[in-house]
Structure 1
Amino acid sequence: MKSSEILIQKIKEFEGLCLTSYKDSAGVWTIGYGHTHGVKSGQKITEKQADCLLRGDLLTAENYVNGLQIKLTQGQFDALTDFVYNLGAGNLAGSTLLAKIRAGASAMEIQTQFRRWVYAGGKRLTGLVKRREWEAQRWIQ
């Protein structure tokens, strides 16, 4: 499966666009639409480069989710892909969220698991609450 345009637009909305590197709420150097790999202090990019980085990062997340070999709707695929894009494959791999999905848990149980992932640097962040709620709702679409 591939990310929907709905997901791509939501990621852009959630991440915002920053063409100069900055440290995110967890203290990680970030640029573009939440790109972190190899980012350094003082780095600058164009909007076109930010779009390319987003597509590359999304491809990595999509490949991971596809590799789970779980039958998913487009909404479920988007929800998991956004989760991996935002938090990384390692966090999904060892999560109760993934265990519940694999066990065939109810949509409500799975939505509850999405909603647990709202902390960065030990702080509950409003932006993460909104993002996890979007994922929880996208799971049932």
Structure 2
Amino acid sequence: MAQGQLEVEEEINMKIDIKGRELIYKEEGVVLSAYLDSVKIPTIGVGFTFYPNGDKVKMGDKITHVKCDEIFDKIVVQFEQAVNKAIKVPITQNQFNAMVSLCFNIGVKAFSDSTLVKKINSNSSILEVEKWFTAWCNAGGAPILLGRRKREFKIYTTT
């Protein structure tokens, strides 16, 4: 490096790939008419509770498959950014996909402030990561998401 030059840390901004997209679509399901989710929040499309403009989904709303894909493409960016910002260690594409799926489901703040993120960033054992990944299994006070978390963790550990 020449005298006076500063080394610039290259920022890597990962994005989900087709497998990540398929994971989220499969886990969330695709419903083109608004419905009440397990905790009674109006939801549409691929688990959307709000639209890209910030409006909340309302009962009676309907969308097409094309519109669903458009909304997903706009909304998923915030979850990709959250994972990119929170995770400070190198990760694989599968690990990124699994974490975006989790973040998409639990929300940016919950993900970013989670013990899971702290464990990943401190290079904890895979058993610790699994423990904190699968800890996010409750919705409405019931462990209805444990199967999803186990599937996401399996992807997290797939090379």
Q: TM-score, normalised by structure 1?
A: 0.92
CA distance in 2 between partners of 1:81 and 1:27 (Å): 23
> 2:35 aligns to what SS in structure 1?
strand
Unaligned stretches of 5+ residues in structure 2: 1-13, 51-55
> 2:47 aligns to what SS in structure 1?
coil
- Runs (4+) of structure 1 exceeding 2 A deviation are none
Give the AA of the match of 1:3.
I
CA distance in 1 between partners of 2:46 and 2:147 (Å): 17
Deviation of 1:63 after TM superposition, in Å, equals 1.1
Q: 1:79 aligns with which of 92, 98, 103?
A: 98
- What's 1:35 paired with? 48
- CA-to-aligned-CA distance 1:56-100 (integer Å, 9 cap, x gap): 221111111112252211111111111111110111122111111
Determine what percentage of the aligned residue pairs are the same residue.
34
- What's 1:129 paired with? 146
> 1:27 aligns to what SS in structure 2?
coil
- What's 1:67 paired with? 85
Q: 1:15 aligns with which of 28, 31, 55?
A: 28
- What's 2:69 paired with? 51
Q: How does 1:83-102 map to 2 (within 5 A)?
A: 83-102=102-121
Deviation of 1:14 after TM superposition, in Å, equals 1.2
CA distance in 1 between partners of 2:148 and 2:20 (Å): 11
Q: Judge conservation of contact 1:107–1:139 (CA < 8 Å) in 2.
A: no
Give the AA of the match of 2:63.
I
- Counterparts in 2 of 1:130 and 1:40: CA distance versus 1, 3 Å: same
The structure richer in helix per residue is 1
Q: Judge conservation of contact 1:57–1:85 (CA < 8 Å) in 2.
A: no
Rg comparison, structure with higher value: 2
CA RMSD of aligned residues (A): 1.2
Count of aligned pairs: 139
